[in-house]
Amino acid sequence: MHNRWSNDDPNQGSAFHELVALPTLAPHLARPYHLPGTPEYMAAQANLEQASGTVTNDGGADTAATEGAGEQVDPDMLVNAHRFFVHVTLEWTERSKTARSTRSKKQEETKSTPDALEVLNMSRTGFVPAALTAHGYQNAYIPGPTSGPGMQVTWTGHAGGKKRAPIIQDDSDWDMMKAQLRQQVRRTKGKLDTICVTFDLDLMEGYKNRKQLLSPHGVPHEADQMELMHGTHVPSVATFSAEQVATGQAIEDIKASWHCDKHGYCFITKDADHIELNRFRLQAWATAILAGQCVATGAPPNDLLQAWVGCPRVSAIPLAKLVPRGRSGPGRTSSEVSTSDTTNLLLTTVVPMVTMMAHNITSTMQKSSRHRTPPSSPPRQSSPPPAIEDELQTFLNAFGRAKGISADVISDVHECLRDAHYSPDAIAEQTLLITRLQELTNLPEGQVYSL
C-alpha cells in the first residue's frame, strides 16, 4: 500500500504507516487516519487536495487538470462505486433415514443476484439481505445488528481461496474484507467484477424470521402450515386423527380432575388411597370415557380398577373401598359384582387343579424314568422336585438369572403373582393376556413374553 512522506501527498497511507510509522519517525507529518470509504475519509481527502493546490478556489483547475476533460474525480470514489456481480451459494445438511441408520449429506445451490451491487458502498446489514435475494430469502433471515449471520466472501486472486476464507461475522470483519477487495480492484484496474458469497443454513437458525414458516431451504410452506427443520416435521394437531385428538383431550381432562401433589396424577378413593396413573392407565381410562362407560371426574370402570390393584407400585386396596368420589350409592352394580366374582372363582378353582395336574405329571415322569434305568447301572441320585408352593419362586429365580434381572425385581414379581395365585403352568397359558401379566409384574413387554 502507498506510504506517504510529505504533506503535499494527498493520498492516505496504510493504517500502520499513518498510526505508527509517521508519529514515531516524522511527527510533523502525522494526521488523523480514517477508514477508506467513510465520509470522514472523503472530506479529509478533499481538504488535502484543496490545500495542496490540486483544485483552485476560483473553480479553475491546475495545468495538469486543464488538459483533462474538466473537474478531477477522486479515484477512491470510482473504486467505491464499482459494481460487482454476486454469486451466492447456500449450503445445508439433508438427513435421510434408512433401515439401519440415519445418513447426513451436505447439499449446496448457487445462484446470482438479480442486479450488480456496489459492495464497497454497502454495510454488512445491507449486504446480507441483498445477497440473499439471489435465492429469494431476503425476508427469511434477518442479519444481527452487531454480528451474524456468518458468511464467506471470496474473489479471483483471494488468498487461500474458498476453503481458507475467513468467516465474516461482525462489522470489523466486513470492513477488513472491503479494504482487501478495494486493493484488489485497484490492482486489477477495475477488471475484477465478480465475488462469491457462501452461507451455511445450518448455522443461520438463530437469524430466521419467525413470522414466516419455512421449508428446509427457507421457502414459505403454505400447504400444511407446518415448519420443516431439514426434513423433520414439527408435530401439529392436523396430523392426528379425530380419535387420537379426542383421546388426548380425555387424558387432559383426567389429569385436570385427578392431580396429586405426591405422585403427579392419582385416582384417589373415598378413603384417600392413591392409585398412580401412568400413561398406560391414562390411555385405558380415556378409551373408556370415549366409549361412554365413565367420566373424567368420576371413577374408572371396575374392570380397570380390578386390573390396577395388585401392581407392586400401588398399595393393595380392597375393592370395597373403591367408591367413586362424590357418590354414596349402595355399592357396585350387579354386573360389576358378577364380573369380579366370576374372575375370582376361575382363579381359585382352575389354578389349584392345574398345579395338582402338573405335580402328578412330574411324579409320573420320574417314576417312568426310574423304571427305564438298566439294572446293571448304579441308581442315580436326583434331587427331589420342589414343593408346589416353591415352584413359582424356583421358576422366577431361574428366569431372573437367565435374563439378568435383579433379585429385588424378581421378589416383587413373585409377590405379585403369588397374590394372584399364578403358577408356572398358569403363566404359560396367559399368552393371549400379555397385557394383564405386564400390569401385574410391571416388567417390560419383551420380558413378559420371555416369561
Query: Model confidence over 159-208: pLDDT tens digits?
Result: 777 788 889 999 999 999 999 999 988 888 888 899 999 999 989 888 88
In this predicted structure, the answer to whether residue 147 has a pLDDT above a threshold of 50 is yes
Give residue 85's pLDDT.
Answer: 93
| Of 173-187, 240-254, 404-418, minimum mean pLDDT range | 404-418
Using alpha carbons only, give the angle 256, 444, 404 rounded to the nearest 5 degrees.
Answer: 140
Residue 214 DSSP label: B
What is the pTM assigned to this prediction? 0.36
Using alpha carbons only, give the angle 429, 432, 437 rounded to the nearest 5 degrees.
Answer: 75
What residues pair up with 260 in beta bridges, in sequence order? 264
164 to each of 109, 159, 187, 389, how far by Cα in Å? 20, 8, 22, 77
Residue 383 DSSP label: P
Within a 10 A sphere around the Cβ of 92, how many other Cβ atoms?
19
State the Cα–Cα distance between residues 361 and 410, nearest whole angstrom.
27
Helix (H/G/I), strand (E/B), else coil: 247: helix
State the Cα–Cα distance between residues 245 and 262, nearest whole angstrom.
28
Please classify residue 181 by burial: count the beta carbons closer than 10 Å to its beta carbon, then call 0-12 exposed, 13-18 middle and 19+ buried.
Answer: buried
| Of 117-131, 348-362, 377-391, minimum mean pLDDT range | 377-391
Quickly state the pLDDT bin for 51 (edges 50, 70, 90).
low
Give residue 224's pLDDT.
Answer: 41
Within a 10 A sphere around the Cβ of 4, how many other Cβ atoms?
19
State the Cα–Cα distance between residues 83 and 40, nearest whole angstrom.
22
In this predicted structure, the answer to whether residue 311 has a pLDDT above a threshold of 80 is no
Please classify residue 311 by burial: count the beta carbons closer than 10 Å to its beta carbon, then call 0-12 exposed, 13-18 middle and 19+ buried.
Answer: buried
Please classify residue 12 by burial: count the beta carbons closer than 10 Å to its beta carbon, then call 0-12 exposed, 13-18 middle and 19+ buried.
Answer: buried
What residues pair up with 154 in beta bridges, in sequence order? 196
* More confident site: 190 or 54: 190
* More confident site: 59 or 416: 416
Helix (H/G/I), strand (E/B), else coil: 23: helix
Give residue 177's pLDDT.
Answer: 92
Give residue 379's pLDDT.
Answer: 53
Give residue 228's pLDDT.
Answer: 46
Give residue 214's pLDDT.
Answer: 45
Please classify residue 441 by burial: count the beta carbons closer than 10 Å to its beta carbon, then call 0-12 exposed, 13-18 middle and 19+ buried.
Answer: buried
* More confident site: 120 or 328: 120
Mean pLDDT of the chain: 74
* More confident site: 85 or 431: 85
Please classify residue 274 by burial: count the beta carbons closer than 10 Å to its beta carbon, then call 0-12 exposed, 13-18 middle and 19+ buried.
Answer: middle
pLDDT in tens, 74-104: 667 778 888 999 999 999 998 877 777 778 8
Give residue 80's pLDDT.
Answer: 80
* Max avg pLDDT among 7-11, 168-172, 221-225, 419-423: 168-172
* More confident site: 149 or 391: 149
